[in-house]
């Protein structure tokens, strides 16, 4: 599973967020809430949904399934002029990303992430950058269907000669 390396341009998104941890995962609740209000967003670009995770800068250094992070359910928009009630805005800053294709049911995602963080990243020319991680849920995303596909975007920077 080799990623493509891409430079993301800045994106404006509107959605909802919740603080959670792997041991207290509220993803289903977050997406259920978002999807019931999604049609209120009038200025969206396309139909792709963005599942964003924002981790503390020490999250991966001191990893624990109880460590909390913010998770967002969002859609890209042209501007922030009309933000529906109970929705928030987030701007994904541009930057370098490794983009992996996860194929399979959502519940098999941990295998993909284990490969990314346990095998690919340590053996690559890149280090993890402190920017949001996200998945793009496009037309091939089917949640728990074994034929489901989603893109996993991991923020990276080139390793330096000093070992980063």
pTM for the whole structure: 0.91
Q: Is residue 135 part of a domain?
A: yes
For range 26-51, the mean pLDDT: 95
d(CA 30, CA 90): 16
Confidence of residue 109 (pLDDT cuts 50, 70, 90): confident
Partners of residue 127 on adjacent β-strands: 157
Token pair for 53: 């995770």
Q: Is residue 87 part of a domain?
A: yes
- For the chain, how many structural domains are there in total? 1
Residue appearing with tokens 């020319």: 125
For range 48-57, the mean pLDDT: 94
Token pair for 161: 């000669």
Domain that holds residue 149: 4-158
129 burial (CB, 10 Å; 0-12 / 13-18 / 19+) is middle
- The pLDDT value given to residue 161: 54
Q: Is residue 163 part of a domain?
A: no
- Domain with residue 121: its CATH number is 3.20.80.10
Q: Is residue 164 part of a domain?
A: no
**pLDDT one-digit tens code per residue, 11-37:** 999 999 999 998 999 999 999 999 999
């Amino acid at each position: 599973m080799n990623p493509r390396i891409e430079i993301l341009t800045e994106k404006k998104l509107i959605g909802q967020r919740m603080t959670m941890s792997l041991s207290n995962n509220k993803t289903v609740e977050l997406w259920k809430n978002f999807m019931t209000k999604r049609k209120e967003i009038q200025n969206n670009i396309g139909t792709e949904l963005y599942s964003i995770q924002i981790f503390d800068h020490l999250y991966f250094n001191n990893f624990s399934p109880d460590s909390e992070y913010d998770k967002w359910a969002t859609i890209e928009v042209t501007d922030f002029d009309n933000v529906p009630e109970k929705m928030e805005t987030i701007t994904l800053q541009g930057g370098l990303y490794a983009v992996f294709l996860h194929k399979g049911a959502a519940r098999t995602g941990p295998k993909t992430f284990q490969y990314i963080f346990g095998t690919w990243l340590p053996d690559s020319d890149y280090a993890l950058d402190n920017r949001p991680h996200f998945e793009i849920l496009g037309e091939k995303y089917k949640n728990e269907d074994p034929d489901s596909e989603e893109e996993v975007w991991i923020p990276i920077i080139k390793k330096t000669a000093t070992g980063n």
